Amino acid sequence: MPVIRHIAQLGNPVLRQLALPVDNLRDASLQTLIEDMLATVAEADGVGIAAPQVYEPLRLFIVASRPNPRYPDAPSMQPTVMLNPELLWQSPETVMGWEGCLSVPGIRGLVPRSERIRVGYQEHGGGRREEELSGFLARVFQHEFDHISGLVFLDRVASNRDLVSEREYVRLMAAR
Ligand code: NI
C-alpha cells in the first residue's frame, strides 16, 4: 500500500537544493517513491508534486492536474510521472496565473510563466518523451521544474503585492 508522505514546508533546506538525476530507473525504492508521491498529491488536492517536497532531492515530479477544491478550474488528465525532466524551449510570452504550493500552505501568488513550453522527460517505463505543453499544464510543469532547481513560486512573483493569503484568494475568486 502506498504511504502518504510528509510534505516538506518552506524553510526546509531540501526545497532549496539542486536535485540530482535519477539514474537507476529500475530501482524498487524508486517505484515505492512514485507510488507514494501519487497517493500524497491526490490526498493533498495538489495538481503536481516534486520529489524534493517529500524529502527526496531527485529530478522527478508528477503532473496530476484535475479539478479539486484547491484548483476547481484545473483540466483533468492522467497523472504523469516525469523523470529527469528538461525544459527544452519556453515561449517569450508569459501569462499571469494564480499558484499555490503544498510546501507553502496558506499563500497564493500571481506568477508570470511562459505560455507555451517544449519539454522532455523519461517515462517510468524508461522511454524518453518530448511534448509541447501550454496553459495550465505548462504552468504546473514550470512550477514543478522550479522545485527540482531549488526554487519555489515565491521566487517568481513580480512583486510581493502579488501574494495573498488563501482566505483572501477564496474571497477574490468568489467575487470574480
Ligand atoms: Ni509546489
List pLDDT tens digits, range 23-78. Answer: 988 888 999 999 999 999 999 999 999 999 999 999 999 999 998 888 888 899 99
- Over residues 80-125, the pLDDT tens digits come to 999 999 999 999 999 999 999 999 999 999 999 999 999 999 998 8
What pLDDT is stored for residue 25 in this prediction? 81
- Reply yes or no on whether the pLDDT at 176 is more than 90: no
- Report CA(70)–ligand 1 centroid distance (Å): 13
pTM: 0.96
Residues annotated as catalytic are 144
- Report CA(135)–ligand 1 centroid distance (Å): 17
107 pairs with which residues across the strands? 165
Q: What is the CA radius of gyration of the chain?
A: 15
- Report CA(159)–ligand 1 centroid distance (Å): 19
What would the grid cell of residue 62 be?
A: 508528477
- Over residues 132-159, the pLDDT tens digits come to 999 999 999 999 999 999 999 999 999 9
What is the phi/psi pair of residue 140, to 5°?
A: -65, -45
Neighbours of ion ligand 1 (CB under 5 A): 101
Rounded alpha-carbon distances, angstroms, from residue 87 to 35, 98, 150, 154: 24, 21, 15, 20
- Report CA(152)–ligand 1 centroid distance (Å): 6
What pLDDT is stored for residue 138 in this prediction? 97
- In this structure, the chain runs to a length of 176
- Report CA(14)–ligand 1 centroid distance (Å): 13
- Report CA(146)–ligand 1 centroid distance (Å): 8
- Report CA(168)–ligand 1 centroid distance (Å): 19
